[in-house]
Structure 1
Amino acid sequence: MSNRLLKVIEQRDSTLLAKMAPPDNTPAKVVNLEAERMVDSLFRQLMKVFPAAAQTTLKTDADLSAAKKQWIAAFAENDIRTREQLSAGMQHARASESPFWPSPGQFIAWCKEGALKAAGLPDENELYVLTMTYARKRGGYVSPEAYPWPSPAVYWMVTTLCDHMRHESWSEAQLRKGCGTELKLMAKRIDAGETIPQPRARIAQMSVKSALSKSDNLKKLHEICAKHGLRTKP
């Protein structure tokens, strides 16, 4: 350690220490230019739908710049990354009856709802209603597969949700949360190009809490085997 450095440390001279320190060659954080361009284009479209924003929330260039940064961050945090998602959000924006500029959260919700519609899926509330309707009417059908499902995707989601309702005694809040989870999983399968299979007999998955007794298990096994023409040992 040099005498000069020792002297600087003894004197606690932060200014001289800073001058003697090696330069910081860490590059500045690179801005996602594609995200910036997407938000620029989106804002131009939104300004046409909500023109009053130019006189209120986005009155100055500083307001506009700050808002764009917030939206870019919100999109990154909520996995809104494609023009198709933004297009779905714009469809909702054009149909909105409100004259006010949407918040990032509101627009993200529009994007997600639009993406579900594009995939032929219901939104969370619609799936909740479909599930409750099936739970109320299923006794009138010989099997879940005989129920008039609007699509194979709805069959798999609703029957899975009903399994949780029966075997885990889900509350309404849990069911609504489960609807969101099932929709996300199904949307990912569809986006990945998977063909959702037609309704077919399935064995319900049950939690440990709701495990059947040995006799009930045997009875259930016999019912399933009989339905599929399988023989069981006496």
Structure 2
Amino acid sequence: MRDLISAIQHRDGSALARIAGDGPLPDERGVHEDVERLVDMLFANLKQLFPASVSTALKDPKNEDLAKKQWIAAFAENGITNREQLAAGMKHARASLSPFWPSPGQFIDWCREGELQKSGLPDADGLVAMVHTYCARRGYYDAPEAYPWEHPAHYWLITSLYSGMRANTWTEAELRKRAAAELALMAARINRGEEIPAPRAMLPQLGGKPLGQKEGLAKIAEIRKKFGIRGGRA
């Protein structure tokens, strides 16, 4: 599995093109054959878990070859780049009650859910529910940082999504999509050992994006001038 992960991590353009059928096969087939064998192993394991696929979607060898190419491309496009992610995907696959073959997107979701669990984070649906709870209860607290956050990451994720939702009037589907993207970024930060800072007061925001100190002070001055508010001594 290590060679497959290495090929995806390094975004070997020529190799991926050949695997996806977009380029000629190489004269030297060593590396290409190694990658193909690893994908064969992954598919062999999935066939054991989803036996219905053998007589349906993967009955024709040509369809199976095309499926393998699409899975490799999907892994590269969605950042599935390490063995831990694939192991998480297989764990979910073993727990699945369906006998039918998962789509690449479903398997990738399984990989990401495992990564989120390892990081102590909720899935996208759970995060969206937390955002709605925050919306309903935030008025009981003096400031966002005073809210009873269970984890520092929750503060940064939820306040960012809340600000974006208000500034851009996201639909529920748009909020969930953004939540999934933010979770993937946060999980990557945690899994590479980055310490997530504790909740702290943020500068004023404009359009859902925090202002820098200079811009924040300028915005405050503009508001004071507009409403005739005299600035106090710092």
What TM-score do you get using the length of structure 1 for normalisation? 0.70
Aligned position for 1:190: 190
Aligned position for 2:127: 127
Conserved 8 A contact 2:141-2:147: yes
Q: State the Cα RMSD in Å.
A: 3.3
Q: Residue deviations 1:93-121, cap 9 Å, x none?
A: 11212111112222122222222222222
Alpha-carbon deviation of 1:151? 1.2
Deviates most, 115-124 or 65-74? 65-74
Conserved 8 A contact 2:167-2:208: no
Distance 1:200 1:191, change over 3 A: same
Alpha-carbon deviation of 1:27? 5.1
Deviates most, 26-35 or 152-161? 26-35
Taking the aligned partners of 2:136 and 2:228, their CA distance within structure 1 comes to 25
Q: Which has the higher contact order (CA 8 A, sep 6+)?
A: 2
Deviates most, 131-140 or 91-100? 91-100
> How many residues are matched?
198
Are residue 215 (structure 1) and residue 210 (structure 2) matched?
A: no
Larger Rg over CA atoms: 1
Distance 1:233 1:46, change over 3 A: same
Taking the aligned partners of 1:106 and 1:95, their CA distance within structure 2 comes to 13
Aligned position for 2:179: 179
What is the letter of the counterpart of residue 102 of structure 2? Answer: P
Aligned position for 2:6: none
Structure 1: which 5+ residue stretches go unaligned?
1-25, 223-231
Conserved 8 A contact 2:153-2:186: yes
| Stretches (4+) displaced over 6 A | 216-220
Look up the SS of the partner of 2:206 in the other structure.
coil
Taking the aligned partners of 1:219 and 1:34, their CA distance within structure 2 comes to 72
Aligned position for 1:100: 100
Taking the aligned partners of 2:128 and 2:196, their CA distance within structure 1 comes to 20
Distance 1:28 1:73, change over 3 A: farther
Look up the SS of the partner of 1:193 in the other structure.
coil
Structure 2: which 5+ residue stretches go unaligned?
1-24, 210-218
Taking the aligned partners of 1:106 and 1:156, their CA distance within structure 2 comes to 27
What is the letter of the counterpart of residue 49 of structure 1? Answer: L
Alpha-carbon deviation of 1:196? 0.6
Distance 1:103 1:143, change over 3 A: same
Deviates most, 136-145 or 36-45? 36-45
What is the letter of the counterpart of residue 150 of structure 2? Answer: P
Alpha-carbon deviation of 1:214? 1.1
